[in-house]
Amino acid sequence: MKIIDSPEIIQKKASEFKAQGKQIGFVPTMGYLHEGHEQLIKEAKEENDIVILSIFINPLQFGEGEDLDRYPRDEVHDQTVAQKLGVDLLFFPTKESMYPTESAIQLSVNKRTNVLCGKSRPGHFDGVVTVVAKLFHLCQPAKAYFGMKDAQQVAVVKALVDDLNFPVEIVPVATVREPDGLAKSSRNVNLNDQERKDAPVIYAALQQGREMIRNGEQDLNNVKTAVNTFIETHTHGKIDYVELLSYPELENIDRPKGQMIIAAAVQFEKARLIDNQVFDSHGAVTIG
């Protein structure tokens, strides 16, 4: 495995691989790798000749007062995991190398952002698409792998690729979970003991909502109310949102139709957890 911190060098290496006819799979992360990230790398390894893993805590997607400084970091651990899983190139740029000057061009996301996490994080997804666009140009992948735990991010990146004609296939990968159902997340380390016991309730509540639709419930407000009540009753966290929308369009719907997402965010003392399920109008899981 080769570790590269220069955008110019990673772009040159990617171009060389492409010239050799090798297909590049790309896994963009913010580091502090866990089993969810490992699954992305494993799938990329299976489907491509070369795997590039990026680790970059992108400041553009953190708003004022958000947890940029507290975002967990462990470079030694991350390098060990990447080496073990057979990553070919580990791209580890600095903020200064990625954003050497003030940008003259700003990307702005106009759809799929006024709901879920985007509703309370204005500008967050502008930062996401900016860094993803840069990383796609630098790493030149045929396929890029994103975890469905952040399903809104997957939907927004898919829109970026479709709207701007990036020659990249977005591969959504099912959420990796603890045995009790809690979605793997770098932020789980910030839960205290009681919150860690409470946290799996989020997924259980979403499953209950999906089951209601599978059993024929047509009133989506009833579903959302039931999920809210379940979370409120069984956790000490504060609900940020519970939403039921079309997917990947992330638009309001009044009854079960097409592919849908039920998603929730719950704020604990030092961690905000998100989770979701994507399924069809009959309640059958379609992604993750």
Q: Is 196 exposed, middle or buried (0-12, 13-18, 19+ CB in 10 A)?
A: middle
Give the dihedral sign, CA 44/83/177/151.
Answer: negative
SS3 246: strand
**Binding positions for beta-alanine:** 61
- Asked if 192 contacts 261 with a C-beta cutoff of 8 angstroms, the reply is no
Cα→Cα distances 260→8, 202, 263, Å: 40, 18, 10
The token duo for 106 is: 């700003």
Question: Could you identify the residue written with the tokens 């600095």?
Answer: 94
Q: Which of 37, 124, 137, 282 is catalytic?
A: 37
The annotation places the binding site for ATP at 30-37, 147-150, 176, 184-187
Annotated binding residues for (R)-pantoate, written as ranges, equal 61, 153
In sign, the C-alpha dihedral spanning 137, 83, 60, 99 is negative
In whole angstroms, what is the distance from residue 244 CA to residue 215 CA? 16
* Residue numbering of the annotated binding site: 30-37, 61, 147-150, 153, 176, 184-187
37 is catalytic: yes
C-alpha span between 256 and 109 (Å, rounded): 26
CA distances 240 to 12, 101, 109, 156, 189, Å, are 43, 35, 22, 20, 20
Please confirm whether the linkage preceding 7 is cis (ω < 30° from 0). no
Return the active site residues. 37
